[in-house]
Amino acid sequence: MNNAASLGSLILPLNLSRQVQEGTPSAFDCGYFSMRLAFPVWENRISPVLDTATRFLIVDVDDHGEPSRLELLLDGNDISRKCRKIGSLGVNGVICGAVTRRFSEMLAERGIHVVPGVSGRPDEILDAWLEGRLIDPRFLMPGWSIDVLQERIRGLRLKTRAALRSEEAK
């Protein structure tokens, strides 16, 4: 099965340092800086439309080394179910291609920040995110504004920092 262990709708790479499963708190929830990001994937690229994506790469990005990754497979096009599943995994942000306003609003209601308009291979997008260079025009979907992408990226980073400060104050 291509170096992966199957667990229900989750496909977990065997080399993860920790398994990220439904109900498991993100690294951020455990008291150190982290974001749990979701990337919809289609044919080894960011899916052009989030609403119809059935495969997701879920990544814990933290200040303690290599990000933890898992692949999540979801059935069908029910955006309510997708939203609940993504929310149950503790995802902070979704970096995606196009998304309908309704799905974006549903995710926002769950506290999940959406960064739309992104195109490319998931590994390149993750590296660009980690290195602060996601605003490179080569990662922009045709017809999307670099200004809108910059605003959404800033929003996700600010949201995560605010949550971190809130946790530190406790």
CATH code assigned at 98: 3.30.420.130
The DSSP letter of residue 123 is: H
pLDDT in tens, 85-114: 999 999 999 999 999 999 999 999 999 999
Q: How many domains does the chain have?
A: 1
Q: Give CA separation, 1 vs 59, 68, 164, in Å.
A: 21, 19, 38
Find all residues with CB under 8 Å of 122, minimum gap 6, and list them: 39, 41, 44, 45, 46, 57
How far apart CA 43 and CA 104 sit, in angstroms, is 23
Q: Which residues contact 126 (CB under 8 A, 6 or more apart)?
A: 37, 39, 57, 59, 61, 67
Longest distance between any two alpha carbons in the chain, whole Å:
45
Distance separating alpha carbons of residues 170 and 168, to the nearest angstrom: 5
Tokens of 107: 């995710």
Range of the domain at 59: 4-169
pLDDT in tens, the chain (170 residues): 333 333 334 433 323 333 444 444 443 344 445 789 999 999 999 999 999 999 999 998 876 656 788 998 987 779 999 999 999 999 999 999 999 999 999 999 999 999 999 999 999 999 998 888 888 999 999 988 888 888 888 878 776 666 656 656 66
